[in-house]
Structure 1
Amino acid sequence: MVFEKPVVIIDNGSNMLKAGFACDNHPVSMFRTVVGRPNYLKGSYGRKPYEVYIGDDAIDRIEDYELSNPVVNGRIAHWDNMERVWHHVLYRELKVAPEDRGVILSSNVNTTMQEKIHCCEVFFETLNTPALCIQPQPVMSLYASGFTTGMCVDLGHDTVDISPVYEGGVIKYAHMMTNYAGIQVINYINDSLRDRGHDFGIHTLEILGNIQKQIYITSDCAMSRRNYKREHILPDGQAVDISQEVFMAGEMFYQPTLVMGEDKGILSLHDAVITAAMKCDADLRTELFDAIVPCGGMSMIPGLPGRLGIEIEESIHRPVNILTSGEAYALAWLGGAVFAGLPDSGKIWIFKKQFEDHGAKIVRNKFM
């Protein structure tokens, strides 16, 4: 698709938003998908002037501001906040006029048609974008890995979605979820540390986020105590033993019942991948297992892709291909850049004039 100026790509995540230009090989802007309003409002928005902060600016004011996430479980839950985030991305982060740029917008595999129509209304009627393309995150992640058929394993902040993709289209009836994602990891670590008498007060989220970065997964649970030992240094210099937390939080992906001590409805990651593949036609399974793409922030946990391959192979008794990337956290965004350069991508764009003439009908035709 040919535009006079580089296309803008926006990947909406529940925890992090990635944005940039199709001509680049990495997002220009990455920040927390969070909006902050003063605590004294107590939900009474619009009655008097106040400052709204977005991303890291909002988190820096956590003591005085109420924070809310416009994206929940991969879907937009608060449209006014999401509109503010998009406005912030275009004008302040990327410093572009939306009237001059086509936009590629990522969507969750469960995004409804009504939500896609609402996105078009915001971009065409409020932001005056000349052209918009909405693409599912699993498809974009496969594009970034050089495939159009395969299995996307998206390990996000509040959902883990396993989506089989065939020739650039999501097989929605085979979509699976594990009911265990980044937020559950943080909650598990927090509960475990509290049981041991550690309470970090208002800085809890920041400290838990740093501890989360130390999670790892082993290919073999038999390991020496010395290799198992982990500590985290608090801002006041105190050292906290987090050996159990960072090991068990990672192991939850593969042995949830063992870690929790009971069945809480959490599906192990490899079982979810296998189940999703088995829901598809038998002729497709070989291609799906030959291109398993972990992506999202949690896929960066050391050892996770290797263990996933081991567990799947032991279950189905055949080799599989796990495609790893050093930028798995931004794989959907990178796939958007690949998609923007495809010669046939122009067939899927919606232009402002088309939306004005045909409305929701053309959205249904283009973004099924």
Structure 2
Amino acid sequence: AVIFDNGSGLFKAGIAGDSGPRSVFTAIVGRSKVKPAMLGAGQKECYIGEEAQSKRGVLSLNYPVDHGIVTCWDDMERIWRHVYDYELRIKADERPVLLTEAPLNPLQNREKMAEIMFEDFMVPAMYVAVQATLALYASARITGIVLDSGDGVTHTVPIYEGYCLPHAVSRLDVAGRDITEYFMKLLLESGYSFVSTAEREIVRDIKEKLCYVALDPTQEMKAKPEEIMKEYRLPDNNIIQIGNQLFRAPETLFAPANVGVEAPGVHKMIFNSIMKCDIDERILKEMKLQAPAGVFVRIIAPPERKYCVWIGASILTSLTSFRQMWVTKSDYRDFGAAAIHRKCF
């Protein structure tokens, strides 16, 4: 089977049974700013992934997945077609496909996925699974609460015996992209201006390499500047020095008010989700502060968590018992796009 993990920032694709995805690229589509009729030889109307990133100066860029939800189906279909033709180099009608979705994804989005896959790609069978559930499978568990914070959206998802509990899911529209933007603002206050889309990628790289979550941000703010100062070499070989911005940016996950979002932080979201049910050390500390005495809290953060959802999907589709879960072409013929709701919960 083929597995497509549709993230807001990264698209992961591969074949079931593999230990990791074969193709990982930025989920972005770039269209030429000039009219198609005026394109020169060798120029394409649209570019996908890293190719679009490298030509960002002459393209208008679009992320088809925004805050975990597909907002542009034409571009999403282009990405899927690109993966089949150029990344995996296999025919869509030869293998079933498993697609991932965010918790609380609108039902019509799921139906649209089924429609495109059966009508346009002619897949023999498909399945749609919630990303957080798959991430839990990847850590060899079927019950737990998953904090899924990607590029576009953060969810806390309680899962019992492999089933997501929708009534207890909490959603926060603050994630990696928002932290990058807030980090850009903090750097600007220090005199470092990063404004273009190309410069945004530099800031994202600084964030991924140097930023950290402080165990106690108040204490960290009292530290001497030289104790927390880090250096980063820019592509033009200039070196910049960055101080408390390195932990103030990720602090947004615990204090969304920093970016103007009136919502509880991730530690409170987790607690609220647990209460509605029948980032590691810091989360553990916050959870222990809120948990009653004697309640043991354990946080699992596997090193390969960037691909946890994809790995979980690979495990799930490799199970012999999963064969009966596929939504087949005959199901689609009998029940239409709504067939997807009969087996995918």
When normalised by structure 1's length, the TM-score is: 0.85
Q: Residues 140-289 of structure 1 correspond to what in structure 2 (within 5 A)?
A: 140-202=134-196, 203-213=198-208, 214-221=210-217, 222=219, 224-225=223-224, 226-256=226-256, 260=258, 264-281=261-278
CA distance in 1, matches of 2:101, 2:156: 15
CA distance in 1, matches of 2:33, 2:192: 27
Q: What's the offset of the Cα at 1:201?
A: 4.6
CA distance in 1, matches of 2:186, 2:159: 37
- Classify 1:101/1:315 alpha carbon distance in 2 versus 1 (closer, same or farther; 3 Å): same
Contact 2:110 2:340 in 1 (8 A): yes
What is the match of residue 286 of structure 2? 311
CA distance in 2, matches of 1:228, 1:107: 39
Contact 2:8 2:63 in 1 (8 A): yes
CA distance in 2, matches of 1:28, 1:141: 18
- Classify 1:266/1:358 alpha carbon distance in 2 versus 1 (closer, same or farther; 3 Å): closer
- Classify 1:343/1:52 alpha carbon distance in 2 versus 1 (closer, same or farther; 3 Å): same
What is the match of residue 292 of structure 1? none
What is the match of residue 130 of structure 1? 124
CA distance in 2, matches of 1:264, 1:361: 35
- Classify 1:83/1:264 alpha carbon distance in 2 versus 1 (closer, same or farther; 3 Å): closer
Q: Would you say how many aligned residue pairs link Structure 1 and Structure 2?
A: 331
CA distance in 1, matches of 2:143, 2:35: 49
Contact 1:141 1:334 in 2 (8 A): yes
Q: Which amino acid in structure 2 is aligned with residue 233 of structure 1?
A: R
Q: Residues 12-23 of structure 1 correspond to what in structure 2 (within 5 A)?
A: 12-23=6-17
Q: What's the offset of the Cα at 1:315?
A: 1.1
Secondary structure, counterpart of 1:307 in structure 2: helix
Contact 1:312 1:320 in 2 (8 A): yes
Contact 1:36 1:58 in 2 (8 A): yes
Identity %, equivalent residues = 30
CA distance in 1, matches of 2:274, 2:202: 38
Q: What's the offset of the Cα at 1:157?
A: 0.8
Q: What's the offset of the Cα at 1:50?
A: 4.7
Secondary structure, counterpart of 1:63 in structure 2: helix
Secondary structure, counterpart of 1:219 in structure 2: coil
Q: Which amino acid in structure 1 is aligned with residue 238 of structure 2?
A: Q
Contact 1:75 1:110 in 2 (8 A): no
Out of 21, 33, 43, the position equivalent to 1:27 is 21
Contact 1:10 1:105 in 2 (8 A): yes
Q: What's the offset of the Cα at 1:211?
A: 1.3
CA distance in 2, matches of 1:35, 1:361: 29
- Classify 1:341/1:133 alpha carbon distance in 2 versus 1 (closer, same or farther; 3 Å): same
Q: Which runs of 5+ in 2 are unaligned?
A: 37-42
Q: Which runs of 5+ in 1 are unaligned?
A: 1-6, 43-48, 282-303
When normalised by structure 2's length, the TM-score is: 0.91
User: Stretches of 4+ moved more than 4 A in 1?
Assistant: none
Contact 1:179 1:266 in 2 (8 A): no
CA distance in 2, matches of 1:353, 1:337: 24
Q: Which amino acid in structure 1 is aligned with residue 200 of structure 2?
A: L
